[in-house]
Chain A
Amino acid sequence: MSMKELEKKLRDRFGEGVIDFAIPRKNRLIIKVDASIVKEIAMFIKENGFDMPISAGATDYPKDKRFEVFWVIWSSIHNLVLILKTDIDRDNAEIDSLVEVWRGVQKFERETWELMGINYKGHPKLKPLLLPEDWDEGYPLRKDFSLSPYKV
């Protein structure tokens, strides 16, 4: 299946839910989707051969009041890397967890929950991982986190 066919299948099935479909270079694919249907789309692309989770995280855009949440999936069949992206509201940082789709994203979502403060709905194990256990100074990877107390 070529990527053109995948794009057609996706757009036929989800219509407006697929916001962007881009091939920036060889072996890369970026799909931007609507946050409300991210889980259905994830199921769909997993059925189409994207089976191995290799990364997940989020980027903070305080000016646009949004987080861009992403999952990076490798396909053992097509040999390419897919970046699945979606935008969520910065004041209400919630998104469906994709652990049920790809088991391996569990640790990445847990880490993003801790460092970026994004609530993954349906995640089985949202508990602290990297930060000290008495940490209460906010979410270090957000752009409004101040580094000045830590500068030497």
Chain B
Amino acid sequence: MGIARVEEVEELKDGLMRVSIGPQHPISGQGRILVVTDGETVYDIEIDIGYSHRGIEKILENRIYIHGIVPLERMVMLDTSPITMCYVRALEELYGVEAPPRAQYIRTIILEMNRIISHTYALGLFAESAAWNPAIFLWTTADREPFLDLLEMLTGARWSYSFIVPGGVRADLPQGFKEAAFEAIKFFRERLDVYVDSWIDNYLFEVRTRNVGVIPRDKAIEWGAAGPSLRASGVEYDTRKHDPYAAYEELDFKIITDTSGDSYARGGVRVKEMYVSLDIIEQALENIPDGPIKRSLPQRAPPGEAYARVETARGEIGMYVVSDGKDKPYRVKISPASFRNIFLIEMLPKIEELRFADVPVIFYSLDPWFLDADR
């Protein structure tokens, strides 16, 4: 929120103009993209975030540990469980405990369902940005419903679950959950095939998104991209594999990567990841062990520090938690994936030629979330 003052805006060369996209809902959330263009070619892009900065890091310092979970979920309402998982992971490291195996499996199921819900939304917006018929957005919004119903059945809420807590999860799987979940998976797998046939593999869609916003592998690493945006550039990096949590170590899945690094690749990685998520949920449901789901922990965490990482749908989130032995954290530093990905678009006009119409396509293909970046 710092570039609004007129006197600070530098003069532009003849024939160039600065176009402001936003700040009212250019994508989900408030934020602004300033584009310097001559009408067609893009010369410079500046990202202006902070319109929904809530100071979550400061809020956490003033709440007991378990109360921190609720404000944290407000970072990305579509994808709440991985964020709380990250906080809980850091706390469990501080306490030096691990949740019981059954809780780990239940966590895995929620995390992967959340990933599907988030990816469907991202893909719907991506299709819309590529001037595709809004029908795709309606499809993806309707098709995530079975998973929302399942999560409601399990946690009592459709979006903000507050279900993963330090030491385990809040409740066990309800009766009939398994059967309903298998049914939803079967339904969704068929729908994914329809997406691929009718839209992802469609020539028109490829023309619009291939070779648009190419991020080479070395740049993706240098700039610190995260999640599908990083994997689409050929970096095999997924904290589910590289720093496993929940039950991922015991499940069999592979990291989806692509080498071309363009917008199409980023969308494609998301679609393939949803297939992987369905497999993971199936495996977790089949192999879930019996046993307790929660262990109780004292309110005060032992002094120390922990850096926890979790793979959200948008990429890796990192939380650095420092405890001084009290019942509130001394410091929490959150590094969300959107904060890393959103600035990638600033770098792109410097390395390749962009057209104005490509800006939304690239932006939605990166799938940043303003509220996530603002915190």
A side interface size, CB within 8 A: 38
A35 CB to closest chain B CB, in angstroms? 19
Across the interface, do B243 and A27 meet the contact criterion of CB distance under 8 Å? yes
Residue of B with least CB distance to A81: B307
Across the interface, do B320 and A133 meet the contact criterion of CB distance under 8 Å? no
Question: Among the listed stretches B137-145, B148-156, B290-298, B332-340, which one makes contact with chain A, having 4 or more residues with CB under 8 Å of it?
Answer: B332-340
Tell me, in angstroms, the Cα distance from A111 to B342 when the chains sit together. 14
Tell me, in angstroms, the Cα distance from A74 to B222 when the chains sit together. 11
Which of B53, B242, B318 meets A79, CB within 8 Å?
B242
Across the interface, do A72 and B307 meet the contact criterion of CB distance under 8 Å? yes
Across the interface, do B224 and A57 meet the contact criterion of CB distance under 8 Å? no
B side interface size, CB within 8 A: 37
Residue of B with least CB distance to A55: B335
Which secondary structure dominates chain A's binding surface? Answer: mixed
Across the interface, do B224 and A129 meet the contact criterion of CB distance under 8 Å? no
Across the interface, do B1 and A104 meet the contact criterion of CB distance under 8 Å? no
> Could you give, for residues 21-63 of chain A, a 1 whenever the CB lies within 8 Å of some chain B CB and a 0 otherwise?
0000101100000000000000000000001111101011000
Q: Which residues from chain B contact A132 at a C-beta distance below 8 Å? A: 1, 50
Across the interface, do B316 and A102 meet the contact criterion of CB distance under 8 Å? no
Tell me, in angstroms, the Cα distance from A131 to B374 when the chains sit together. 9
Across the interface, do B331 and A104 meet the contact criterion of CB distance under 8 Å? no
Residue of A with least CB distance to B8: A127
Across the interface, do A131 and B340 meet the contact criterion of CB distance under 8 Å? no
Q: Which residues from chain B contact A57 at a C-beta distance below 8 Å? A: 320, 333, 335
Q: Which residues from chain A contact B235 at a C-beta distance below 8 Å? A: 76
Within 58-91 of B, Cβ neighbours of A (below 8 Å) are at: 58, 62
Within 87-142 of A, Cβ neighbours of B (below 8 Å) are at: 102-108, 111, 115, 127-133, 140-141
B360 CB to closest chain A CB, in angstroms? 21
Across the interface, do B243 and A102 meet the contact criterion of CB distance under 8 Å? no
Across the interface, do A130 and B374 meet the contact criterion of CB distance under 8 Å? yes
> Could you give, for residues 218-235 of chain B, a 1 whenever the CB lies within 8 Å of some chain A CB and a 0 otherwise?
000111101000000001
Which of A51, A59, A72, A129 meets B49, CB within 8 Å?
A129
Tell me, in angstroms, the Cα distance from A28 to B318 when the chains sit together. 13
Across the interface, do B309 and A81 meet the contact criterion of CB distance under 8 Å? yes
Across the interface, do B53 and A104 meet the contact criterion of CB distance under 8 Å? no
Tell me, in angstroms, the Cα distance from A64 to B321 when the chains sit together. 19
Residues of A with Cβ closer than 8 Å to B? 25, 27-28, 51-55, 57, 59-60, 70, 72, 74, 76, 79, 81, 83, 102-108, 111, 115, 127-133, 140-141, 145, 147
Residues of B with Cβ closer than 8 Å to A? 1-5, 49-50, 53, 55, 57-58, 62, 93, 221-224, 226, 235, 237, 242-243, 307, 309, 316, 318, 320, 322, 330-331, 333, 335, 339-340, 343, 374-375
